[in-house]
Amino acid sequence: MARIPFNFQSLFVKSMISFVAIIVLLASFNILSFAFFKTTIEREIIHNNRLSLVNAADRYEKHLAIVKTLLFKLYQDENVVSFGRQLAAKDGSGVNYLKPAEIRDQLRRDVNNPFLYLDNILVFYNSASYAVDKNGTGDADRLFSLFYAGEPYDIRYWQRQFALPYTSELHPSRPFAIVSSDTQSKRLLPMTVKLPGYNHLVIGLLDAERLYESFYSKDGSDFAIVHPNGRALFDSADPQSSGKRIVPDGAPEFVASDNVYTFYEKSAETGLTYTTSVPYASIAAQIDRLRWTLAALSVLSIAIAAAASVVFSRKIDAPVKRIIDSLRQRSPEVVRSGIYEFKLINEISRELIRERNDIHDDLQTKTSLLTDFGYLSKLKKIATGSGEWKEPIDRPEPFRVVLFQFRFRNAMLQAAGVSADGLVYAARECVDLTMSGTFEHSRTLLTDGSQLVSVVYGEAADGELGRALGKLKTIFDRDRDHYLVTASVSSSFPAGSDFNKAYMQAMDRLKQEKLLGDMQLLWEDVPPQSHFVFTAEQEQEFYVNMREGNGAACGQLLFRMLEQMRKKEAFRSQFRIFALSAAAKIVKIAEMAKVDPSRTERLNAMLGELEECWTFDDYVRFFDRFVPPAAEAVRRKREEKDPVVEFFAHYLESHYAEDLSLDTVADRMNMSSNYLSAYIKEKTGTNFSDHLNGIRIREAKDMLVRTSLSIQEIGEKIGYRNVTSFIRMFKKITGLTPGDYRKRSALGSEAGLQA
């Protein structure tokens, strides 16, 4: 064998050079990364902690200045000042108690600003022990002891503030027990403002945790704010900390002591000192993380090297693919490549392809009959139960295909101890015997576990084939309690080459079988039937009754539709589609009603029974078993008392004609709109707007029948200010416009009177 000479353009040399370059690249990167890590990382980590503290202090200072300005503006608000003077006068008849509502609205607007991080603002009138906050007004002692209670912030603490010589002050953060719709605890940072000569105090309660999370929150370090007098105003590590903190003179950037780095930043404007303590172990952990980062970078560099290898491999793969394509297509294509081995392989393959093409052309010219024979021999032998069918399928005479489809009642078969395979095998013998006794050369094949195919040759009249199938019908109908048979007959085709067309025609006709209890014979194509579905009004009626748990009404709707389908001779497949759709809707409504999951699982399990519904009575019996338990489960779920849902429903029934919104109802129920919406959706399966629109359209239907009011007047009476919106919603729910509904109701009434 000739050896390939050594060549610098060979695959081996190019691969070695590429991978050596990749190895050198990776080694260089690791060496440089290690050198950088040893010299600069620790210094950068300390600088980063210091910079984080400076940024946090700057953000705190700016935010406290904004809040202070807001509180002073509120302190001098005309409503706040005038109401305080009225209380100080101690003349009950002269106090305007409507002003606190305006003050409360202003407080809500300020507190609801998410960028201020305010949990509440309190206006405390010392002379009358009266307080106003975002939730309302009332006795100050009750507010500070029950609704916003925190140590040491009782009413005596705030009364003492009037005697202290300051205009604004930041107080230590403490956990507050807050009672609104429920009881919760929050860590708040109070800020007070006051001016000489006034008898009220404004207290802003900042959410200390949210401020900390937004302005600093850094893993592995403790953050604190220290008052100029040394008292801790906030400590992330200790919510109750109120002791003194020692701040070094000269405000150093950081102090290292006892394996802890403590960083300091003092504000020149407020005098507050911001500190953060980072254990050396935390810095070491950061260094470890960076070490792992470097390891990840090493992995990334390897990935880059792998990508480079992929690119190089593609350069190898492209000519290989072209060579393979040329071999598959038997085309002596010239493959251009810079690799010597590929050039050599391409030259050899081109030579082999040329030789193969010459041989193929010679065989194609001289032995085409052999190819045809091999092709026909594969098509003209059909396996049967007793060996091979020796006669060719393209006999020179007309033929028909008869397709027998068996549908088994598995429960009956199991009770009788009979297998479906045994029945089909016996049926094949019976069909084969009957057909072969009437038509010469006929054969019956078993295509799968439930289908037989008979091929009948000759100029057979429809009468002869009909009599043969009639005999089979008499035999098969005796066992119709165990299985049902449908036979579809193709048209007569002139030659065996049309066998596929005949078989497909018989398969298509099989889809036209009706819902009968005995054997069916399908001879002709039937025009496609229309789809059988509920009308929009029936769909709405079915949905409403099922949601109310009215199983009898739902059963009547289903029975009427099944009866209509039977009268119009719907196909078996159409019955199946309708039944599956209706059952799925019932299960969906049960799931939306939040019934017991075990009941839903039983309903889903019952859907499998549709597989053995072969007659009209089978479908009626199925829905008689399926609908009542589903409706009963929905009804029981609806009867479960829920005071929130009952109040909600009663309120909508009483105020549907008003300009209602979710926010209005939620405010009336002392809930947030988001919570109320989610609660009603979870408990009833329907959202707020659907509840409201359902009530309004129900009343509109009643008015359209009872009164002669115009469409616009009815829409206004039920709460729609825009007649177009009313008409659109009415049609969406009922499927008809209000005018059409009124006409149809009038026609129905006249027909009833005539009857």
Query: Over the stretch 200-228, which tens digit does the pLDDT of each residue have?
Result: 999 999 998 899 888 887 665 788 898 88
Q: Which of 272, 279, 259 is nearest to 218 (CA)?
A: 279
The pLDDT tens digits of the residues spanning 294-325 come to 677 777 777 786 677 666 666 665 666 666 66
Whole-number Å distance between alpha carbons of 405 and 412: 18
Whole-number Å distance between alpha carbons of 541 and 564: 18
Task: Of 229-233, 269-273, 382-386, 573-577, give the lowest mean pLDDT range.
Answer: 382-386
Q: Report the percentage of the chain scoring pLDDT > 90.
A: 13
Q: What are phi and psi of 222, to 5 degrees?
A: -100, 135
Name the residue with tokens 């305007």. Answer: 96
pLDDT classification of 188: cutoffs 50, 70, 90: very high
Asked if 532 and 619 count as a contact pair (C-beta separation under 8 A), the reply is no
Average pLDDT of 234-250?
73
Task: Of 257-261, 432-436, 467-471, give the lowest mean pLDDT range.
Answer: 257-261
Secondary structure of residue 261 in the 3-state scheme: strand
Q: How big is the CA angle at 247 (ends 243 and 252), to the nearest 5 degrees?
A: 155
Name the residue with tokens 């479960």. Answer: 640
Whole-number Å distance between alpha carbons of 32 and 40: 12
Secondary structure of residue 477 in the 3-state scheme: helix
Q: Which of 734, 301, 681 is nearest to 541 (CA)?
A: 734
The pLDDT tens digits of the residues spanning 117-141 come to 999 999 999 888 899 998 888 888 8
Task: Of 181-185, 315-319, 380-384, 529-533, give the lowest mean pLDDT range.
Answer: 380-384
Looking at mean pLDDT, say which of 91-100, 585-594, 729-738 comes out highest.
729-738
Whole-number Å distance between alpha carbons of 673 and 662: 6
Q: No. of H helices and E strands in the chain? A: 25, 20
pLDDT of residue 392: 47
Judge whether residue 380 has pLDDT over 60: no
Average pLDDT of 143-170?
89
Asked if 619 and 575 count as a contact pair (C-beta separation under 8 A), the reply is yes
pLDDT classification of 157: cutoffs 50, 70, 90: very high
Element (H, E) at 168: strand 168-170
Judge whether residue 79 has pLDDT over 80: yes
Secondary structure of residue 178 in the 3-state scheme: strand
What's the chain's average pLDDT?
A: 79
Judge whether residue 354 has pLDDT over 70: yes
Query: What is 337-405 written as a DSSP string?
Result: -S-HHHHHHHHHHHHHHHHHHHHHHHHHHH-HHHHHHHHHHHHS-EEETTEEE-S-SS-SS-EEEEEEE
Q: Which of 237, 236, 239, 255 is nearest to 247 (CA)?
A: 255
Asked if 111 and 121 count as a contact pair (C-beta separation under 8 A), the reply is yes
Name the residue with tokens 């050599």. Answer: 344
Average pLDDT of 462-481?
82
Judge whether residue 591 has pLDDT over 90: no
Whole-number Å distance between alpha carbons of 203 and 111: 12
Rg of the chain's alpha carbons, rounded to an integer?
Answer: 44
Higher per-residue confidence, 198 vs 308: 198
Distance of CA 659 to the CA centre of its chain: 33
- Beta carbons within 8 Å of 621's beta carbon, 6+ residues apart: none
Average pLDDT of 400-413?
82
Higher per-residue confidence, 291 vs 699: 699
Whole-number Å distance between alpha carbons of 270 and 266: 9
The pLDDT tens digits of the residues spanning 417-458 come to 777 788 888 888 888 888 877 777 777 877 766 788 888 887
pLDDT of residue 585: 87
Secondary structure of residue 200 in the 3-state scheme: strand
Whole-number Å distance between alpha carbons of 731 and 753: 27
Distance of CA 238 to the CA centre of its chain: 42
Q: Which residues pair with 203 in a beta bridge?
A: 122, 192
pLDDT of residue 63: 94
172 burial level (CB within 10 Å; 0-12, 13-18, 19+): buried
pLDDT of residue 445: 79
Separation in Å, CA 633 to CA 37, 242, 549, 646: 68, 59, 7, 19
Asked if 493 and 501 count as a contact pair (C-beta separation under 8 A), the reply is yes
Average pLDDT of 649-653?
87
Neighbour count for residue 367 (Cβ, 10 Å) = 11
Q: Which of 694, 702, 700, 662 is nearest to 679 (CA)?
A: 662
Neighbour count for residue 544 (Cβ, 10 Å) = 15
Q: What is the 3-state secondary structure (H, E, C) of 287-354?
A: HHHHHHHHHHHHHHHHHHHHHHHHHHHHHHHHHHHHHHHHHHCCCCCCCCCCCHHHHHHHHHHHHHHH
Tokens linked to 235: 């400590």
Supply the pTM of this predicted model: 0.39
Whole-number Å distance between alpha carbons of 621 and 631: 16
The pLDDT tens digits of the residues spanning 596-633 come to 788 888 888 888 887 778 788 888 888 898 888 888 88
Q: How big is the CA angle at 582 (ends 414 and 533), to the nearest 5 degrees?
A: 125
Higher per-residue confidence, 103 vs 339: 103
Average pLDDT of 649-673?
88
Judge whether residue 92 has pLDDT over 50: yes
pLDDT of residue 406: 87
Asked if 595 and 582 count as a contact pair (C-beta separation under 8 A), the reply is no
The pLDDT tens digits of the residues spanning 680-730 come to 887 777 888 888 998 999 899 989 988 999 999 999 999 998 999 999 999
